[in-house]
Amino acid sequence: MRLYPKLLISYLVVVIIGLAVIIASTTFVAPRNFAHRMEMMMESEEHEPGQGQRHGMMNGPPTDEEINQRFRDALNESLIWGGGAAIGAALLISAFVAWRITQPVKAMAAASDRIASGHYEERLATHQHDEIGELVHSFNQMAAALQSTETMRRQLIADVAHELKTPLTTIVGTMEGLQDGVIPNTPATFELVHQEANRLRRLVLDLQELSRVEGGKMAFNLQPHLPAELVKFATDRLTPQFTDKDIALTVSLPANLPAIYADLERTGQVLINLLGNALQYTPSGGQVEIFAESLDRQVRFAVRDSGVGLTPDDCEKIFQRFYRVDKSRARASGGSGIGLTIARHLVESQGGHLWATSDGLGKGSTFFFTLPTENFTKSS
Ligand code: ADP
């Protein structure tokens, strides 16, 4: 039951119990009390005839005034006892209701303190199905979200440290070797240091970009663009590299595709990233194809390659930060493992989705992304 009717009913119960106790005391206790007082009065008259004056009575049968007085005394006494009992019952019920409300609130306050001091695993148990139960449930959800953010933060620091360590170790080791004369002072040595320094720079730039896109601080200039415009933006920049590696790049777009609402540069960056990966993970002589189709109020783009392919598990994991299927190979190519994480954020920030499918290892992979054909910010 909800808290609102619960409270109303509990107040009503308090009032009803009070009334019931008072009615019971006037119905059952007051008449007996009155009868007892009348008996006492009669007895004292029998034992001490003529002494009635002491009890405020005249000699002879009791007058109406005396009977009224006894009645009022009896009623007042039972009302005092009845009222006391009613207050006692009301106090008990109110204390129980107040305890039921304040106990989880106090537990939540204590749990918040523990969470604030770093115990993110703190959770509260509840069997209540009212607003208090809902509050406890929301509290637990918040604690779980905080715990996962904290885990991600720690993981991110560990990952960044790990990513920085490899190129830094190479640079430091090479420089020490040069100083000691163990490594020859050749252009190849300087090229190696240069490459590692470049990798560090790219990693830092990627991290900066990731932090901006994850923090929602990136401004998107959403304008209508024809899908062909977007595809040209990316292919113009990468076609020479496809030719160099002898990979056939084909584009097949239907003629009547509607315009998408997107930031050309940022979406172009996504497509460049997907094409760059397709280029990297497809051996020479392979094919990469870009195609698109119009769906309900969106256009779905796809980049399909005939490359190394992905396992079903990796199809989702590759969107996690720093995740690389073949670590040594991806690192050797300078990949930071953040490209797809950024790409997914960029697409989602514009109202679309990005995902990957593959028929398995060695069978190529396809990356899909959708973009709306209406202004996402206006409709959302
Ligand atoms: P990276 O900079 O390492 O390429 P990404 O985030 O772009 O980082 O990609 C993450 C990982 O996903 C890559 O290391 C690679 O293992 C896998 N991957 C991405 N694109 C493809 C593809 N077209 N075919 C097979 N594996 C891919």
Computed over its alpha carbons, how large is the radius of gyration of the chain?
42
At 51 the pLDDT is 53
The alpha carbon of 233 and the centre of ligand 1 are apart by a number of angstroms equal to 21
CA of 199 to the centre of ligand 1 (A): 16
281 lines ligand 1 (CB under 6 A): yes
- Whole-number Å distance, alpha carbon 363 to ligand 1 midpoint, is 15
Nearest to 113 by CA among 148, 138, 143, 137: 143
pLDDT, position 231: 96
**What amino acid occupies position 327?**
K
The residue whose CA is least distant from atom 11 of ligand 1 is 324
Quick check: helix, strand or coil at residue 267?
helix
Contact in structure between 377 and 273 (CB atoms under 8 Å): no
Q: Up-side HSE of residue 361: CA atoms within 13 Å toward CB?
A: 5
Ligand 1 pocket mutation, candidates 304, 316, 324, 338, criterion most atoms within 8 A of CB: 324
The distance of Cα 60 from the centroid of its chain, to the nearest Å, equals 87
For position 377, what pLDDT does the model report?
A: 66
How close is the Cα of 155 to the center of ligand 1, in Å?
Answer: 20
Distance 126 CA to ligand 1 centre (A): 45
Whether the CB-CB separation of 41 and 49 falls below 8 Å is answered with no
75-to-30, 56, 177, 380 alpha-carbon distances in Å:
5, 19, 108, 71
Q: pLDDT for 281-298, tens place per residue?
A: 999 999 999 999 999 899
Both tokens of 46, joined, read: 């029998």
> Using a 6 Å cutoff on CB, does residue 335 contact ligand 1?
yes
pLDDT value at residue 274 = 97
Distance 367 CA to ligand 1 centre (A): 11
What is the position in ligand 1's atom list of the atom closest to the CA of 324? Answer: 14
Q: Which class for 307: exposed (0-12), middle (13-18), buried (19 or more C-beta within 10 A)?
A: buried
**Is 18:86 a contact under the CB 8 Å cutoff?**
yes
The model's pTM: 0.69
| AA letter at 94 | S
Residue nearest to atom 7 of ligand 1 (CA): 339
- What's the pLDDT at 380? 47
Q: What is the pLDDT of residue 240?
A: 95
Which residues, in sequence order, are CB contacts of 193 under 8 Å at separation 6+? 170, 171, 174, 175
* Pairing relationship of beta strands 248-252 and 287-295 according to DSSP bridges: parallel
Spatial contact of 271 and 234, defined as CB atoms under 8 Å apart: yes
What's the pLDDT tens digit per position in 101-147? 888 899 999 999 999 999 999 999 988 888 888 999 999 999 999 99
Cα–Cα separations (whole angstroms), residue 312 to 115, 323, 325, 356: 37, 15, 12, 9
With the most atoms of ligand 1 within 8 angstroms of its CB, the residue from 326, 340, 342, 368 to mutate is 340
Half-sphere exposure of 340 (CA within 13 A, CB side): 25
DSSP assignment of 106-141 equals HHHHHHHHHHHTT-TT--------SHHHHHHHHHHH
pLDDT digits (tens, 9 = 90+) for 317-363: 999 988 888 766 555 666 778 999 999 999 999 999 999 999 999 99
**Cα–Cα distance, 236 to 244 (Å, whole number):** 14
Which of 271, 272, 277 to mutate for ligand 1's pocket (most ligand atoms within 8 Å of CB)?
A: 277
- Cα–Cα distance list, 203 to 131, 216, 238, 373 (Å): 47, 20, 21, 33
Q: Is the CB of 324 under 6 A from ligand 1?
A: yes
Strand residue runs (E) in 15-71: none
Contact at 8 Å (CB) between 310 and 275? Answer: no
| Intervals of the chain under pLDDT 70 | 48-60, 327-334, 376-380
Give the model's pLDDT for residue 54.
45
* Ligand 1 touching residue 364 (CB < 6 A): no
268 lines ligand 1 (CB under 6 A): no
The number of the ligand 1 atom at minimal distance from the alpha carbon of 305 is 23
3-state helix, strand, coil in the chain (%, to 5): 65, 10, 25
Q: Is the CB of 305 under 6 A from ligand 1?
A: yes
Ligand 1 contacts CB of residue 315 (under 6 A): no
